[in-house]
Structure 1
C-alpha cells in the first residue's frame, strides 16, 4: 500500500556510478534497462494513400536520381598495409589508433543521397510481396544492394555491451545467425548474416534492421574486453569473414572478382584503448558513461529535465521533475531550483493515495520538530499525491474531491507561513519530538518559519504529466482562475510545458465552483465562479500543441483546426505538411500569407521532404521576425511535421541529428515522434548541409546504423511487441 507521507533523503552528490545496457542500447541508466519516459505513446501514422491492388505493379513516383554518384571511401579498403592474421578465411589486424582514424574518416564522408539507398534500406525481402509491390513492383533493379554505400561495423566479442563499449559497437548476435542454427545446416565453421528484411507486413520504420543491413556493406572490426579470451575474438572474426564471403556470393555471385569487405581484429588490449583512445569509448571497463559518445537515452532525459526544469508557478510553490543530481549536473539548473533548496516536496505518483488530515498533521510534525533530521540527515519531508488521470469522471467520489481541495489549502498555508500556532497535538503523535514540562509538544514559533513561508516542489518523473492535475488545481485555488485560464497561464505566463489529461480537465471543470469559492482570492462575486467556457476549450481533443521553440509549436491536424486556441497561444502562422486545414480562412480572418501548405508529401517512405526544408524554415523565420509563432503540423504531428521541426532545431541551434532528435522528442511531451526511415536519413544528410552553411568540416557524431539502432531501442518500450 502506498504511503502518503514520507521522508525524502537529500540528493547525494553526483556519482559516476556503473551502468548497464541492453543489447540494443547505448543506454547508461543505473537501472540496467532503458527506462521509458512515463506516459508516452507511439501513435499510428498512416502511410498515406496506397495504390489499389490492381495498380500494385506500378511503383509510386520517386524523385529523379541525382546526376552525381557519391561513393564513400574508407581507410580499411583495400586492406593494404594491414597485417594478415589468417588466410582462410582472411582476417586482418588493426590497431586502436588506426580504428579511431578509420571511424573519424568515415564521419567526414558525405553520405549517398536518399534516392541512392532507398527503398533498399526499408527492407525488401523476396517473400514480402506487399513491401516489394509498394516500393519496386516491376523495377527489380531497385532490389539490388547499392554500390555507393559503405560502412564500418564494430563488433564486441562476447557481446556484453554493459561495459567496455566502443562507439557504435554491437553484439555478434545482432548480425550473425546463431551458431547452433548454423551447425544444424552444415559445420561448426559455417557462418552467415541474419536475414534482416522483414518477411511480411508493410513498414517504413524498420529502424531495428539497419545495423544488420549496414553490416553487410561494411568492413567489420572485432574487439574484446579484458574478460574475453583472445581465442574467442579470433573465432568470431573468422565467422564474420566467412559470413561476408557467403553474403557477397549470395548477393553478387563474386562477379566483381574479389572481396569487397573485410574483417579486422583490434590488436590492442581494451585497457590500452581506454587509456590512449578515449574518443572511442562509450562505456568504460566499469560500465560508466564517458561522455565522449552521444547517448540517446541520457540525452533525452537531459532534454526532458531541461525543458521541464523546476520553476515557480505561485508564491513559494514550484513545479518540476523529480530531482536527479546526475541530470541536473548536465543541465543549467538554477541554485534556487535544486532539490536541497526546498523545504517540502509533493510527489505525484500513480501509486499514491489521496492524503487526508492525518497525513497533513504527521507531515507538519516532521516539519515543525525537524525530527526528520534525526532520521535521515538533511532529509526533505515529502507528501504523496495521486497522479494525473487517477480521479476518473464521472465516478469520482466526494472524498477524492475533498482530498484534492484539502491538499491545495494545505500547500497554500505552508507556502504562505499560515500555520495554526494554537494547535496542540498529542505528544504520542510526535516523532522524536521534544516536550515541555506539561508533556505538550513544543511548537515552532512564527519567527522560526522561513521568511514568507516554506518552499514547496510539486514533482513527478517527467515534470509535466503526473503532476499536472495537482498543478492545475493548485493554480486555480491560489489565483482564483477557472481551469481554462489556469491551463493557458501556466503555459504562457509561467512557461510550463505539461500534458493535461482530458479526464483531469473534465474533473476540474465539474468542481471548479467549489475550488474558486474556497480560493483566498475569491471576491464573493458569484459570476467569478461560473465564467463562460471559451470556444477553443470545447474543441480541444487532447492537450495543447507542443512548444519546441519559443516561436515554433509542433502539433496535429486537430490543433490546426482550432484557430481560437492558436490565437490564445500567440500562434499566428500555420505550416501544414501534407494535411490542409479544413476551416474557412475568410470567416476566421486568418491572413492567407500566414498559411503555408506543403502538398504531395505522404508518410509513405517514398515522398521526399528535403527540398521543402528551405521554404518551410524561411516561413517559420518570417513569423519569428514578425513576432508571431508558427504551428507546424501534419495529421498526427509525429513524422512529417516533426521532421520539419528537427530540421529547424538543427538549423537554429547548430545541433547534430542525434541531439536535435532528442531535443524535439523530449518536447513532444506524451507522444513519441516518428519520422520514418527516409525522413531520418534525409535529416542526416541535412546535417551535412548545415556544416557547409556554417563553414565547418563535416564530422558526424554518430553513423546511420547507430542512430537507427538507438531510435529502435528508445521506441521498443512503447511498442506492442516490446
Structure 2
C-alpha cells in the first residue's frame, strides 16, 4: 500500500507535467454540482425487507440452503490490477525502514487516472471476503464458509489507491480522501491495520468497513494541508508502512501464495498544486467549498431530489413543491402570494385566522406564510368534526386566494357590501423534501377543487398532474373518512349536485397502504410485492408490465389471463443474501424493460420491499438508458424511491460497478470509473448513517 504526506512547499513551484493520456470518460456525466447552500435531508426511512437481525440496522434474508456457485467471470476480471505506483523504485525514499516514498501532485493525479481505467477483479474473487469475515463471528463464517472456504484469505488480484489526509477534512480534500483513524488503531502504540470485520451479527451491507478492508490491498498516499506538521504526516506514513509489512507477513504465514508488495507515499507538493493543475481530483478546495468536480453523494441526492420535486401547478394558481422553491423566482414569474408549509408540528388553522389572513392579503401584495399539519398527522380511528371542518375551511381559503373574486365586508353603518375584486394570487404548498408532508393537503385540495373522490385524487395527482408524492396509510384513512363532507362542501360552494355514485370505491383502494410505486423513469416504476399483487392499482396507474425479482406473484387466474403471460416476468431463486448473483440476469431484465418502453407499456420492477434486488435492476436501467455512472445512477434512483432508502447490498453494488465496465466495452470505449469501490461504499455508509444505528 502507498501513503502520501505533504512536505513544506518549494519556494518556486513549477507546473507539474500533465498525464500523457487523457481519454474521455466512458459515461457522459451531468453538469457539476452546485455549491449553493445545502438542501435539508429528506424525510426517508430504512425499510425492513426480511427476517433476521443483522447489525448496523440493515435488512437481509439469509437463504435456507447454500446457493450453487456459478462463475460469470471474464478474462479481464481474473487478471491482477496494475498500478503506476508499483514497483515503487522510481519514487524517492524518505525512510528505508519502514519504506516510505515521496510523490508529487502530478504523480498522484496520473496514478488515480491510471487506476480508474483498470478492470476490476471478478466478483467471485472478492466476495464473500469483502462482506467481513471476522474469525470470531460464527454466524457470518458459518453462512459464507459453506459456500467458498477459499475466500478466507485476502484476494491478491485487487490493487487500489487509498488517499489519507492528516488534519481537517472540511477543506483541502482530494478525491476519495479518508482520515488515518479509518485504517489505523486509535492508539499509536498498536501496530497493524484497524480490524474492521464485525465480531458478531450477520450483515451483507457492511459498507462502512470497505475502506478498512481494501486499504490492506492498496498503495496508500498520505498528505495534509499547510497547517499540518510535516513530521506528523511522516509519523502516520511510517505507521501505515509498518502495517503493510505486518499484513503481508501474516498472509505469507498462512499461505504458499505470494502476497503483493503495497507501498506507502507522502505528497511533497502543496495542495495549491492540485487546485491549480489537477482540479478534477479536488473534492473540497482549500477554502472549504465543494468544487463540483467530484461527485458528493449527499449533495447530488439533494440536487436530484430538487429536480424531481420542483414546483408544479396542480390546480389553477396552486403549486406543489419543496421548500427550496420558496426562494426568489425569475423576474418573468410572479411571486407567490401565499406560502403554506406542511409540518408535523403545525396545527390546523382556525377559520378566524384564515379570515384575518385574507384581510391582510387584501391590503398588501407582500407574500404571506401559514403552516398546515403534515401528512400522517391525522390519527385514526377517531377523527373529529373539527379536523374535517379545518381541512374544508383551508381548501375554501386556498381557492378564494387562487381564484380571486369578491369578499363580503361590513361598512361603518353595519351594512353588508362587497369589497373590490381580489386579484388571484399564486400559492405554494411546500415541505422540506417536496413530496411527503404536503401530500395530505394537496390531495384534499384536489378532491375539493375538482370534485374527486379520494381514490381518483390519488391517481390523478400522480398521473394527470405528474407529481411524485408519498402519502401514509393514515392519510388514506382520513381522506376516505372525510370524503363525503369534502365533496358535499365542494358541490355546495360551486352550485352543483353531488353525484354520490363517485363515492363507490374500487376494489384496489382496500388493498392499498397509501403509497404508490415510485416512478423512476417515465416507463419504469420501483415498488414492493404488495404493489405488484394489487392488480387494480397497476391498471389505474397505467402499468402494463411486471418484472418480479426473486418473488412470485399471487394473482388470480382471471388476473393472469387479463394481464397476459408475455407481460409478466419472474427471476426465480434469487434471494437478498449476499451470495446469489444478479448481474448475469441484467441483460434479460433490461431487455424486458426495453421491450415495454418501445411498446409504450410502463413496467413495475419489484422484489419483496423494493429496496435491494429490484432497486439494483432499476439502477442498471438508469445507467444504461441515461448513460450515467454508477454513483449518479444510484443517487438518481435513491431520490426517486421517495420515503424509502434503497439498499442494494455489497455484492449487488459491486456487480453494478462491473456492469459500468461492460457498458463501456459495449460502446467500444475505454472504461473509466468516476469513483472507486471504496469511495462509493464510504459515501453510501455516510448517507445511511442518519437513518441507521451503528455498532
- Give the alignment's TM-score, normalised by structure 1: 0.85
Q: Is the 8 A contact 1:114 1:681 kept in 2?
A: yes
Cα deviation, 1:336-383, whole Å, max 9, x if unaligned, reads: 7x8x732211110112121113432443354333385xxxxxxx3211
- Give the alignment's TM-score, normalised by structure 2: 0.88
1:176 aligns with 2:184: yes
Indicate which of 111, 118, 122 corresponds to 1:109. 118
Q: Which residue does 2:357 correspond to in 1?
A: 363
Structure 1 Cα separation of the partners of residues 400 and 523 of structure 2: 37
Aligned pairs for 1:598-613 within 5 A: 598-613=571-586
Cα deviation, 1:623-680, whole Å, max 9, x if unaligned, reads: 1111111111111111111111000000100000000001111111111111110000
1:406 aligns with 2:411: no
Cα deviation, 1:75-114, whole Å, max 9, x if unaligned, reads: 1111121111111111111111110111111111111111
SS in 2 for 1:243: helix
Q: 1:585 to 1:704 in 2, by over 3 A?
A: farther
Q: Is the 8 A contact 2:35 2:292 kept in 1?
A: no
Q: Which residue does 2:227 correspond to in 1?
A: 227
Structure 2 Cα separation of the partners of residues 84 and 512 of structure 1: 77
SS in 1 for 2:171: coil
Cα deviation, 1:243-291, whole Å, max 9, x if unaligned, reads: 1111222223497788611111111111222222211211112211100
Aligned pairs for 1:254-269 within 5 A: 260-269=261-270
Indicate which of 516, 521, 525 corresponds to 1:549. 521
1:67 is displaced (CA, Å) by 6.3
Indicate which of 534, 539, 563 corresponds to 2:535. 563
Q: 1:369 to 1:719 in 2, by over 3 A?
A: same
Indicate which of 538, 561, 568 corresponds to 1:595. 568
Aligned pairs for 1:457-496 within 5 A: 457-496=428-467
1:63 aligns with 2:70: yes
Q: 1:454 to 1:37 in 2, by over 3 A?
A: same
SS in 2 for 1:61: coil
Q: Which residue does 1:151 correspond to in 2?
A: 160
Structure 2 Cα separation of the partners of residues 720 and 122 of structure 1: 18
The 10-residue stretch of structure 1 (213-222 or 684-693) with the greater mean CA deviation from structure 2: 684-693
Indicate which of 158, 161, 167 corresponds to 2:169. 161
Q: 1:237 to 1:670 in 2, by over 3 A?
A: same
SS in 2 for 1:571: coil
1:546 is displaced (CA, Å) by 0.7
Structure 2 Cα separation of the partners of residues 371 and 523 of structure 1: 30
1:94 aligns with 2:99: no
Q: 1:408 to 1:593 in 2, by over 3 A?
A: same
Structure 1 Cα separation of the partners of residues 214 and 668 of structure 2: 30
Q: Which residue does 2:500 correspond to in 1?
A: 528
1:50 aligns with 2:73: no
Indicate which of 373, 377, 383 corresponds to 1:396. 383
Cα deviation, 1:428-457, whole Å, max 9, x if unaligned, reads: xxxxxxxxxx9xxxx9843xx54xx11111
Q: 1:398 to 1:65 in 2, by over 3 A?
A: closer
Structure 2 Cα separation of the partners of residues 263 and 478 of structure 1: 68
Q: Which residue does 2:549 correspond to in 1?
A: 577
Q: Which residue does 2:409 correspond to in 1?
A: 422
Q: Is the 8 A contact 1:517 1:529 kept in 2?
A: no
Structure 2 Cα separation of the partners of residues 423 and 114 of structure 1: 78
SS in 2 for 1:519: helix
Q: Is the 8 A contact 1:36 1:718 kept in 2?
A: no
Q: Which residue does 2:475 correspond to in 1?
A: 504
Q: Is the 8 A contact 1:163 1:286 kept in 2?
A: yes
Cα deviation, 1:121-146, whole Å, max 9, x if unaligned, reads: 11111111111111113853221111
Q: Which residue does 2:638 correspond to in 1?
A: 665
Q: 1:555 to 1:139 in 2, by over 3 A?
A: closer
Structure 1 Cα separation of the partners of residues 317 and 37 of structure 2: 32
1:351 aligns with 2:345: yes
The runs of 5 or more residues in structure 1 that have no matched partner are 1-25, 53-58, 184-189, 373-379, 426-437
Q: Which residue does 1:693 correspond to in 2?
A: 666
Q: 1:138 to 1:50 in 2, by over 3 A?
A: closer
Q: Which residue does 2:276 correspond to in 1?
A: 275
Q: 1:237 to 1:28 in 2, by over 3 A?
A: farther
Structure 1 Cα separation of the partners of residues 443 and 529 of structure 2: 26
Q: 1:334 to 1:204 in 2, by over 3 A?
A: farther
Indicate which of 134, 142, 150 corresponds to 1:125. 134
Structure 2 Cα separation of the partners of residues 289 and 228 of structure 1: 21
Q: Which residue does 1:290 correspond to in 2?
A: 291
Q: Is the 8 A contact 1:281 1:290 kept in 2?
A: yes
Structure 2 Cα separation of the partners of residues 484 and 719 of structure 1: 34
The 10-residue stretch of structure 1 (35-44 or 556-565) with the greater mean CA deviation from structure 2: 35-44
Q: Is the 8 A contact 2:41 2:302 kept in 1?
A: no
Structure 2 Cα separation of the partners of residues 119 and 650 of structure 1: 25
SS in 1 for 2:429: strand
Structure 1 Cα separation of the partners of residues 426 and 365 of structure 2: 18
1:547 is displaced (CA, Å) by 0.7
The runs of 5 or more residues in structure 2 that have no matched partner are 1-32, 52-59
Q: Which residue does 1:537 correspond to in 2?
A: 509
Structure 1 Cα separation of the partners of residues 95 and 199 of structure 2: 36
Q: Which residue does 2:371 correspond to in 1?
A: 384
Q: Which residue does 1:377 correspond to in 2?
A: none
1:533 is displaced (CA, Å) by 0.9
1:395 is displaced (CA, Å) by 3.0
1:28 is displaced (CA, Å) by 8.1
Q: Is the 8 A contact 1:39 1:465 kept in 2?
A: no
The 10-residue stretch of structure 1 (388-397 or 239-248) with the greater mean CA deviation from structure 2: 388-397
Q: Is the 8 A contact 1:27 1:297 kept in 2?
A: no
Structure 2 Cα separation of the partners of residues 666 and 472 of structure 1: 22
Q: Which residue does 1:55 correspond to in 2?
A: none
**Cα RMSD after superposing both structures:** 2.6
1:711 is displaced (CA, Å) by 0.7
Q: Is the 8 A contact 1:89 1:242 kept in 2?
A: yes
Structure 2 Cα separation of the partners of residues 119 and 257 of structure 1: 21
Q: Which residue does 1:321 correspond to in 2?
A: 322
